[in-house]
């Protein structure tokens, strides 16, 4: 049995399908623009706040932290800038991004995220920092052994040297084990150009340079 719809009904359905597709596309474009603008604004504000905290520390203002006090200590006072850990830089890769506390979707949309429960700069242990492979941590695809990583914080500047890279399963949380000394682990999804949720995790392990 063949069903023939009136031409007027077909035109009406086609017209509204076009409207819906256009509206959906506009909404997606609008959200993408908002997310980009929000991330840029957060990064800019984070840099300004961090710079002010560093300036205050260097001026010796009350309430700021001294790097010497933090060297190889086990505990740290609260961050001078609430929610912001510092700024991570890898000069050779052109990577520079503010690091905020947490790894929820909102934080990782705006910054790299410090993994809760891992060490903080200046503490003995392993600092875990996560970032998206298609935004802030995209340059990590070209990272090499011995690359220098700088972590600038309100408490001072900490330097690390890349010791190794590897790919692990998402459930392999052993990469965040404290180990000995002071280390830094960067985590992002892998492969870098995979379409959809990536199946692996790319791990960069670096050791503190004194």
pLDDT in tens, 167-202: 999 999 999 999 889 999 999 999 999 988 899 999
Confidence of residue 5 (pLDDT cuts 50, 70, 90): low
- Output the pLDDT for position 77: 46
- 204 class by beta-carbon count within 10 Å (0-12 exposed, 13-18 middle, 19+ buried): buried
120-168: per-residue pLDDT in tens? 998 999 999 999 999 999 999 999 999 999 999 988 899 999 999 999 9
Q: Residue 69: what pLDDT?
A: 41
Taking residues 26-43, report their average pLDDT.
73
Q: What is the pLDDT of residues 37-89, one digit of tens each?
A: 899 999 999 999 998 888 887 777 655 444 444 444 444 444 545 689 999 99
Kindly report whether the global pTM for this prediction surpasses the value 0.85: no
Q: Under DSSP, is residue 136 helix (H, G, I), strand (E, B) or coil?
A: coil
pLDDT(16) > 80: no
C-alpha–C-alpha distance, residues 74 and 124, integer Å: 6
What element of type H or E holds 21? helix 7-58
Distance between CA atoms of residues 79 and 65, nearest Å: 9
pLDDT at 14 over 80: no
Count CB atoms within 10 A of the CB of residue 22: 10
Which whole number is the average pLDDT over 17-43? 69
Q: Which two tokens stand for residue 150?
A: 């700088």
Amino acid 58: pLDDT: 77
* CATH class given for the domain over 56-209: mainly beta
Per-residue pLDDT, averaged over 11-15, amounts to 67
Contact 148, 89 (CB under 8 A): no
Q: Examine residue 191 and say whether the peptide bond preceding it is cis (omega within 30 degrees of 0).
A: yes
73 backbone dihedrals φ, ψ, rounded to 5°: -100, 165
Which one has a higher pLDDT value, 62 or 94?
Answer: 94
CA gap 64, 190 in Å, rounded:
39
């Amino acid at each position: 049995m063949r069903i023939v719809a009136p031409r007027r009904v077909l035109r009406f359905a086609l017209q509204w399908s076009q409207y819906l597709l256009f509206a959906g596309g506009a909404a997606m474009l609008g959200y993408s623009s908002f997310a980009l603008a929000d991330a840029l604004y957060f990064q800019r504000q984070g840099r300004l706040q961090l710079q002010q905290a560093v300036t205050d520390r260097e001026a010796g203002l009350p309430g700021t932290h001294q790097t010497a006090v933090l060297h190889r200590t086990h505990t740290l006072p609260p961050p001078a800038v609430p929610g912001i850990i510092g700024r991570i830089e890898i000069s050779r890769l052109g990577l520079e991004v503010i690091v905020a506390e947490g790894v929820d979707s909102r934080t990782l949309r705006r910054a790299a995220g410090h993994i809760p429960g891992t060490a903080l700069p200046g503490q003995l242990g392993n600092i875990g920092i996560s970032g998206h492979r298609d935004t802030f941590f995209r340059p990590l695809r070209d990272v090499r052994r011995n690359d220098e990583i700088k972590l600038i914080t309100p408490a001072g500047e900490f330097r690390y040297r890349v010791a190794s890279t590897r790919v692990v399963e998402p459930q392999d949380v052993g990469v965040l084990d404290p180990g000995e000394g002071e280390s830094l682990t960067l985590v992002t999804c892998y492969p870098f150009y995979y379409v959809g949720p990536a199946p692996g995790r790319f791990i960069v392990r670096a050791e503190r340079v004194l």
